[in-house]
Chains A and B, each alone.
Chain A
């Protein structure tokens, strides 16, 4: 079966295809059942990645993205589910062990909590850091925080603009620098 047929075989969810990549958007309530069905019935044995997107200003605000693959013929299926700010996502760590750390990263960076996760703690930032840095309302330069004896953070000087590369320029001008300064 092709990926598209696999996706259509799922009982619910809205299927779309773009440049050979198939995506299914399911309601959050059916997310766990869909993942389990993909793994057990359709052969998507491998979880490649879990990520999340912040659509600030939209409702529901967040979206979970799961990248699945089959091991024998490398079929690739993407499953998405919208999540509101006050909702918890059911954990996938009992389906795939690798989901444990992926979900902790999503929690660390985006602040989405996972129900049933065995260890719902930060993985990159330190326990007690008060912000979720990948949210759209978090500034690029960072914010001040201080936990005595553990860690502190400050605001990075952006010097008039984000510190970015510019495409299509000469090598000298394309190097990372503050916009407006170079």
Chain B
């Protein structure tokens, strides 16, 4: 397990050998690499997608956290950001894109609609994307501000940091 104390580094550094060798654990190294290069799959479905685009743009600049590489191919993506209202007509398409993403993969439900259906208590709207795919981070807001999305991303990074990534190479798929 990685120490939760943020002041303790994952790596130990010996100045006598001038950085040629860094000693760490496999889990810590893998997690460090994963969490700092999360490539998002932008599942923009409604107005949250506008905030998602703002988060990626220069003012908020999600690339500061290594997640600027929006991949429109699910096969190259690590984290699916479900940004917006998931209608029943779209739901199975979202599930299909999620199924095409390679492991390891994570999901952020951005905003009220993706988390719970939001204000759409309606015949046409899926009441939360977690009814179809497993969600790691929920972000409140309608739509959330870019800062909220960045906080969600940081939460996900802290989650990834604690994963037993070497032992758990594969997640158990969740049946819909």
Contacts and interface: CB of A to CB of B under 8 A. Distances in A.
Contact of A163 (B92, B119, B131): B119
Contacts of B119: 163, 176
A17 B89 CA distance: 41
A162 B120 CA distance: 11
Interface in A52-77: none
Interface residues of A, number: 24
B121 A153 contact: no
B89 A126 contact: yes
A158 B121 contact: yes
A149 interface: yes
Given A163-B119, A176-B119, A149 B92 contact: yes
Chain B interface mostly? loop
Nearest to B120: A156
Interface stretch (B35-43, B63-71, B122-130): B122-130
B13 interface: no
A151 B121 contact: no
Taking each of A126, A138, A142, A149, which has the highest tally of chain B beta carbons within 10 Å of its own beta carbon?
Answer: A142
Contacts of A140: 121-123
Interface in A138-163: 138-143, 149-154, 156-158, 162-163
A125 B92 contact: no
A157 B91 contact: no
A151 B122 contact: no
Contact of B121 (A126, A133, A149, A163): A163
B91 A156 contact: no
Contacts of A126: 89
Contacts of B89: 124-126, 151
A131 B122 CA distance: 14
B72 interface: no
Given A125-B89, A131-B123, A151-B89, 12 more contacts: A124-B124, A138-B123, A140-B121, A141-B121, A141-B122, A149-B92, A151-B91, A156-B121, A156-B122, A156-B127, A163-B119, A163-B121
Interface of A: 124-126, 131, 133, 138-143, 149-154, 156-158, 162-163, 176, 178
18 contacts: A125-B89, A126-B89, A131-B123, A133-B123, A133-B124, A139-B123, A140-B121, A140-B122, A140-B123, A142-B123, A149-B92, A151-B88, A151-B89, A151-B92, A156-B120, A162-B121, A163-B119, A163-B121
